[in-house]
C-alpha cells in the first residue's frame, strides 16, 4: 500500500472507547521463516463442538394426532429438543410446550428415528413445525472474540516474514501462497486458487470458503494482500493483515452460520491492486456480497520518538468506508466498543480523497459492494513503510489482536452464527 496523504478532517469521529494503553510493543522474538519443505502453522487450542444436526424430519398424521420422526446427530451424549409452530395468525414461530410425548425436552440422546407424538387438537393453528436441538454450548460473540490468539498471529508473521515479490522474492511468494492454502485446508475450508496472468507472471488469489447453511446464502469477505514491494520483509505491509485474516479464519471457520464467509489472500496488490481487480471482475459479480473487511497494515502503533512527527502518530486503528458502506462501518465501530477493550477506532467516511482508495477494498467500492478499509495509517504513522526495516520486531501484536477480535465480532454477527440445529416440516 502506498499512501500520499490521509486527509482526516471533520469527518473523523473518535469513538468513546479508550485509547490503547501505553504499553510497549509485544512483538518481540526471532521469526522462523517458512521453508519450501516445512509449511507449519499454529493450531487452535480451543475445543470445537458443532451444533446438533436434525435431519430426515417426517410426519405421520392420524385421528389421534401427528407423529414426527427425525434423526439427531451431536457430539454430546444429551441435548435439549424443543418444538415450535409457525402461527397462522401472526406468521411467527412460537414454542409449543404441551401435548407432546417422546423425544422432546431435556436429556435427549442423539440417534436415528427419534419419535415425538403430538396430540394437540388445535394443531390447525400452525402451518409448519420446527424441531430445534440445542447442546447448551457457548457460541456467543464474546466467546468467539476471546478465542482470538495473539500467539497464533505472532507465529504466522514469523513464518512468512521476508520479501514476497514476483521478481525479487518469487520463492517466498510461492511458499506464502502454499502456507495460506494449507492453513485454510487444515481448518476445514474448501480452497480455490484463482489464477490470472499479468505481464510476464502469474498471480494467484487464495480463497478459503466457509459456506453458510441458508439456501442462496450471501457472502461476507475478510481479505488481505500477501505480496510486498521488492525491498521489504513486509511485516506490517502486509503480514499483519495476512496473519489477521488467517486468525479470523481459524476462529470463525469452526462455527456454523446462515451466511457464507470467504477468506481471501490477494496477490499483486503492490503492482496496482491487480489481484482484487481480477477477483471483482471475474468472481464477485456472480456472488451476493454483503460486506468486505480489508486488513491493510494493522500492526504498527506509534509509541516512540521515531514516529512522533508523522501525521498519524497515535495508537488507534482507522475504519474507513465510502457512503455505501456506512452501515458496515458503524457495525464495526459498535462491535469494537462492545467487545474489545482499549482499542481506539477512528471512524472515517471517505470523501473522495484518492488516499482512501489505495488498497483492495477500492475495487469493491467501485462495484457497489460495501467494504471497510482497516488500516494503521501506513506511511503517515509507520516510518518503516516500504523499507527493509519493516520487520517482525517493530509490530505491536496486542494492537493487531484487538483489531482481529473486532472483525470476528462483526463478521460473526452479520453472518448469523448458529447456536442450535433445526429442521422444519409443513403440516
Tens of pLDDT along 139-166?
Answer: 999 999 999 999 999 999 999 999 999 9
Report the distance separating Cα 104 and Cα 82, nearest Å. 6
Query: In the structure, what pLDDT confidence band is assigned to residue 304 with cuts at 50, 70 and 90?
Result: confident
Contact 341, 21 (CB under 8 A): no
Place of cell 457512503: 323
Q: Assess whether the previous peptide bond of 238 is cis (omega < 30° from 0).
A: yes
- Give tens-digit pLDDT for 80-93: 999 999 999 899 99
- In the predicted model, what is the mean pLDDT of residues 300-315? 91
Determine the pLDDT at residue 92.
94
Q: Please, what is the average pLDDT of the chain?
A: 89
Residues in the chain: 427
Contact 146, 131 (CB under 8 A): no
The dihedral sign for the CA sequence 312, 316, 322, 326? negative
- Give tens-digit pLDDT for 319-339: 999 999 999 999 999 999 999
Cell numbers at 247, concatenated: 486468525
**Inter-CA distances, 148 with 109, 256, 257, 394, 402, Å:** 32, 17, 18, 21, 9
Q: Lowest-confidence range among 31-35, 60-64, 122-126, 291-295?
A: 31-35
Looking only at the bridges linking them, the beta strands covering 126-134 and 421-426 are antiparallel
Burial class (CB in 10 A: 0-12, 13-18, 19+), 106: exposed
SS3 72: strand
Contact 224, 242 (CB under 8 A): yes
Report the distance separating Cα 150 and Cα 112, nearest Å. 42
Q: Is the pLDDT higher at 125 or at 204? A: 204
- In the predicted model, what is the mean pLDDT of residues 348-367? 94
Percent of the chain exceeding pLDDT 70 equals: 88
Determine the pLDDT at residue 25.
39
- Give tens-digit pLDDT for 246-297: 999 999 999 999 999 999 999 999 999 999 999 999 999 899 999 999 999 9
Q: Please state, as a whole number, how many other Cβ atoms lie within 10 Å of the Cβ of residue 40.
A: 12
The whole-angstrom distance between residue 9's C-alpha and the CA centroid of its chain comes to 30
SS3 326: helix
Encode 56-92: b = buried (16+ Cβ within 10 Å), e = exposed: ebeeeeeeebbbbbbbbebeeeebbbbbbbbeeeeee
Report the distance separating Cα 296 and Cα 376, nearest Å. 8
**Inter-CA distances, 9 with 66, 98, 314, Å:** 65, 61, 16
Query: In the structure, what pLDDT confidence band is assigned to residue 352 with cuts at 50, 70 and 90?
Result: confident
For residue 408, the number of C-alpha atoms closer than 13 Å in the C-beta half-sphere is 31
**SS3 assignment for 94-131:** EECCCCEEECCEEEECCEEEEEEEECCCCHHHEEEEEE
Domains of the chain listed by start with CATH number: 13-48+140-415 (3.40.630.10), 53-136 (2.60.40)
Q: Is the pLDDT higher at 6 or at 308? A: 308
Residue 24 has pLDDT above 70, yes or no: no
Q: Which helix (H) or strand (E) holds 249?
A: helix 241-252
Q: Is the pLDDT higher at 347 or at 5? A: 347
Q: Lowest-confidence range among 45-49, 132-136, 404-408?
A: 45-49
Residue 121 has pLDDT above 80, yes or no: no
Query: In the structure, what pLDDT confidence band is assigned to residue 15 with cuts at 50, 70 and 90?
Result: very low
- In the predicted model, what is the mean pLDDT of residues 394-402? 98
Residue 243 has pLDDT above 60, yes or no: yes
- In the predicted model, what is the mean pLDDT of residues 195-210? 97
Amino acid at each position: 500500500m502506498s499512501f500520499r496523504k490521509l486527509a482526516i478532517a471533520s469527518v473523523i469521529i473518535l469513538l468513546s472507547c479508550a485509547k490503547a494503553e501505553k504499553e510497549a510493543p509485544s512483538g518481540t522474538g526471532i521469526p522462523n521463516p517458512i521453508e519450501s519443505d516445512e509449511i507449519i502453522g499454529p493450531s487452535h487450542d480451543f475445543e470445537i463442538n458443532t451444533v446438533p444436526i436434525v435431519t430426515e424430519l417426517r410426519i405421520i398424521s392420524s385421528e389421534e394426532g401427528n407423529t414426527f420422526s427425525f434423526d439427531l446427530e451431536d457430539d454430546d451424549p444429551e441435548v435439549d429438543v424443543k418444538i415450535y409452530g409457525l402461527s397462522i395468525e401472526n406468521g411467527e414461530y412460537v414454542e409449543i410446550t404441551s401435548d407432546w410425548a417422546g423425544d422432546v425436552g431435556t436429556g435427549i440422546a442423539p440417534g436415528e428415528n427419534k419419535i415425538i407424538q403430538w396430540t394437540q387438537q388445535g394443531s390447525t393453528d400452525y402451518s409448519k413445525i420446527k424441531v430445534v436441538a440445542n447442546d447448551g454450548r457457548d457460541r456467543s460473540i464474546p466467546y468467539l472474540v476471546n478465542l482470538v490468539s495473539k500467539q497464533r498471529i505472532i507465529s504466522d508473521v514469523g513464518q512468512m516474514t521476508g520479501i514476497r515479490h514476483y521478481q525479487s522474492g518469487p520463492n517466498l511468494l510461492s511458499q506464502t501462497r502454499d502456507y495460506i492454502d494449507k492453513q485454510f485446508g487444515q481448518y476445514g475450508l474448501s480452497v480455490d486458487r484463482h489464477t490470472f496472468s499479468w505481464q510476464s507472471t502469474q498471480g494467484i488469489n487464495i480463497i478459503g470458503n466457509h459456506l453458510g447453511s441458508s439456501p442462496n446464502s450471501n457472502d461476507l469477505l475478510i481479505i488481505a494482500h500477501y505480496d510486498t514491494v521488492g525491498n521489504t520483509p513486509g511485516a506490517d505491509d502486509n503480514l499483519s493483515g495476512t496473519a489477521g485474516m488467517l486468525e479470523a479464519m481459524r476462529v470463525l471457520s469452526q462455527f456454523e452460520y446462515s451466511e457464507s464467509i470467504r477468506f481471501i489472500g490477494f496477490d499483486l496488490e503492490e503492482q496496482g491492486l491487480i489481484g482484487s481487480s481480477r477477483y471483482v471482475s471475474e468472481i464477485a459479480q456472480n456472488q451476493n456480497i454483503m460486506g468486505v473487511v480489508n486488513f491493510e497494515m494493522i500492526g504498527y502503533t506509534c509509541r516512540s520518538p521515531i514516529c512522533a512527527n508523522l501525521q498519524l502518530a497515535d495508537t488507534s486503528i482507522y475504519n474507513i468506508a465510502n457512503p455505501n458502506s456506512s452501515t458496515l462501518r458503524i457495525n464495526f465501530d459498535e462491535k469494537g466498543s462492545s467487545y474489545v477493550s482499549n482499542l481506539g477506532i477512528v471512524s472515517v467516511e471517505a470523501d473522495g480523497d484518492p488516499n482512501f482508495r489505495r488498497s483492495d477494498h477500492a475495487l469493491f467500492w467501485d462495484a457497489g459492494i460495501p467494504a471497510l478499509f482497516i488500516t494503521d495509517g501506513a506511511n503517515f504513522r509507520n516510518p518503516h513503510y516500504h523499507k527493509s526495516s519493516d520487520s517482525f520486531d517493530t509490530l505491536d501484536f496486542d494492537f493487531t489482536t484487538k483489531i482481529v477480535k473486532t472483525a470476528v465480532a462483526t463478521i460473526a454477527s452479520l453472518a448469523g452464527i448458529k447456536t442450535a440445529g433445526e429442521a422444519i416440516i409443513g403440516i
